[in-house]
Amino acid sequence: MSVGEQLAPFLGRLLIGGYFLSWAWSQSQDFEYWSSILLQKEIERGPVVLSLIMVLMGLGGLGLITGFRTKVAALVLFAVTAFLTLLLHDFWTLPHGAERVLQAQLFFKNMAIGGGLLVLVGSGPGGFALDADGD
């Protein structure tokens, strides 16, 4: 495997993992706000669900960055991303206008991140990973 073939997946894992770590941190800093958003979306036990989401995002992000259990971490992060995206960015329920456009952009951005996670599920961590087999 060439240096580029090892380095590209590693850098991709760093970027995607860093994204999820930063989200987990952000949610912990604005816990009340994010809990209220979940409650507004009729998610019972919003604070408990938010705590679980933060743990999954944090551990999943660390898994991607280190290359430890990359496929499992990516699959869990995909599930969390899909759940939150469908819940929070339901642009199809909004009237036409700026808010609908913004929510559609956020929806499709998150789905693209989900696509990247599925690539990791299928291909494994690449180079510079703790798990050589990527499982």
| Residues 30, 33, 34: CA angle, nearest 5 degrees | 85
Domain-located, residue 88: yes
Residue 120: Cβ within 10 Å count: 24
pLDDT number for residue 84: 96
102: containing domain: 3-123
The rounded distance, in Å, linking the Cα atoms of 132 and 125 is: 8
130 within domain boundaries = no
Q: 89-129 pLDDT, tens per residue?
A: 999 999 999 999 999 999 999 999 999 999 999 999 988 89
Which H or E run contains 130?
none
The rounded radius of gyration (Å) of the Cα atoms in the chain is 16
What confidence score (pLDDT) does residue 132 get?
A: 64
Assess contact for 38 and 50: CB atoms under 8 A. yes
The answer to whether residue 132 is domain-embedded is no
User: H or E segment at 68?
Assistant: none
When comparing pLDDT for 135 and 8, which is higher? Answer: 8
Tell me how many domains the chain contains. Answer: 1
Within a domain: 106? yes
Residue 4 pLDDT grade (very low, low, confident, very high; cuts 50, 70, 90): confident
Q: Which pair of tokens denotes residue 36?
A: 């209220």
pLDDT in tens, 38-64: 999 999 899 999 999 999 999 999 999
Instruction: Read off the pTM.
Output: 0.91
Q: What is d(CA 22, CA 100) in angstroms, rounded to the nearest whole number? A: 25
Q: Is residue 131 part of a domain?
A: no
Does 135 reside within a domain?
no
Residue 62 has a pLDDT of 98
134 in any annotated domain: no
| Res. 6 pLDDT band, cuts 50 70 90 | confident
Token pair listed for 45: 């036990």
d(CA 79, CA 29): 23
Flag whether 128 is in a domain: no
pLDDT-based confidence at residue 133 (cuts at 50, 70, 90): low
Helix axes 70-88, 98-123, angle to 10 degrees: 160
User: Which residue in 31, 23, 85 sits closest to 58, CA to CA?
Assistant: 23
